[in-house]
Amino acid sequence: MKVAIVGAGAIGAYVGAALHRAGAEVHLIARGPHLAAMRRDGVRVLSPRGDFTARPPVTDDPGEVGPVDYVFLGLKANSYATSGPLVHPLLHGDTAVIAAQNGIPWWYFHGLPGPYGGRRIDSVDPGGAVSATLPPRRAIGCVVYAATEIEAPGVVRHLEGTRFSIGEPDLSVSRRCLEFSEAMRAGGLKCPVEPDLRSDIWIKLLGNISFNPISALTRATMARICRHTGTLALVESMMRETLDVAASLGCHPKISVERRIAGAERVGDHKTSTLQDLEKGKPLELDVLLAAVVELASLTGTDVPTLRVVHALADLLATTTSGEGPR
């Protein structure tokens, strides 16, 4: 098995190191000081489960790697449309693209039976730009439950969790999913193949759609949001509206709002990825987390007043910090 990790940051380098340790042919594609450090010293993983170092090939030029069996995308979803130069040199006719993203994926309606089958979600695939770069037939969905961070260039700290749920958009259990799952498990990670990954997508999205924009707007950690009466009520409302949208699309995640909030509060004084991006001056990944669900609410006629208010505020914040004009 030949795998390329495109965007070998905290999650990508962690996955690449685990696969390499299991014997897969892995190539990391990165840039900057992180690239230089991994070339020199390998990927150092610091983990409660045991530290280790892996030394897969590292490059900033995917042309050096050539076609692979799997491309694992460690990029933020808002860069998918422009990822062609990184991804296309890695593709052959059957290459699968495993998109480890938060939020609603561009392939959501691909292969899905029912009235919305094949429909494009403009918030996450504007003008079809993502589908043109990453054809949905290549996509394997991936919901990440692991938490990692770059402690220093070339050094990944694994904080908690080892689960990477994967699944086909068309609800099948494919050979390519089973093969990748086996390689991940050989590397010490959990990688269940879910016949309906969309349920996992909505369960994780319950936290992202509420805590991420609120944290960016208030600069508060997850624990502080949970302990403040007003923002706790806001989170509850956003989660219930999100479950209503999921139900309107025929998806009924088996988790309660109360359980989801309790799990988030246990994370403690953690800054969400959106707040971290805001503090670093990076683009905010809110289209796949919030705008897409508001768009799906409009599509299905679902009433989501709280989501619409928070989306308006967060969207203004995103356009203000990025210097873009109003959308």
Which pLDDT belongs to residue 324?
54
Sign of CA dihedral 283, 322, 314, 117: negative
pLDDT band at 231 (very low <50, low <70, confident <90, very high): very high
Query: Where are the CATH 3.40.50.720 domain residues in the chain?
Result: 2-195
Give the amino acid at 261.
I
Burial class (CB in 10 A: 0-12, 13-18, 19+), 188: middle
CA distance 182 to 323: 45
Whether residue 65 has pLDDT greater than 70: yes
SS3 6: strand
Query: 180-198: per-residue pLDDT in tens?
Result: 999 999 999 999 999 999 9
Q: What is the mean pLDDT of residues 255-277?
A: 88
CA distance 183 to 187: 6
Query: Where are the CATH 1.10.1040.10 domain residues in the chain?
Result: 198-322
Which pLDDT belongs to residue 322?
62
Query: 109-151: per-residue pLDDT in tens?
Result: 999 988 999 999 999 999 999 999 999 999 999 999 998 999 9
Superfamily of chain region 198-322: N-(1-d-carboxylethyl)-l-norvaline Dehydrogenase; domain 2 (1.10.1040.10)
User: Class of the 2-195 domain?
Assistant: alpha beta
Sign of CA dihedral 158, 154, 274, 268: positive
pLDDT band at 5 (very low <50, low <70, confident <90, very high): very high
Query: Is 204 an annotated catalytic residue?
Result: yes
Name the residue among 297, 285, 291 with its Cα closest to residue 311. Answer: 291
Catalytic: which of 2, 204, 271, 282?
Answer: 204
pTM of the entire structure?
0.93
Q: What is the mean pLDDT of residues 231-242?
A: 97
Give the amino acid at 119.
R
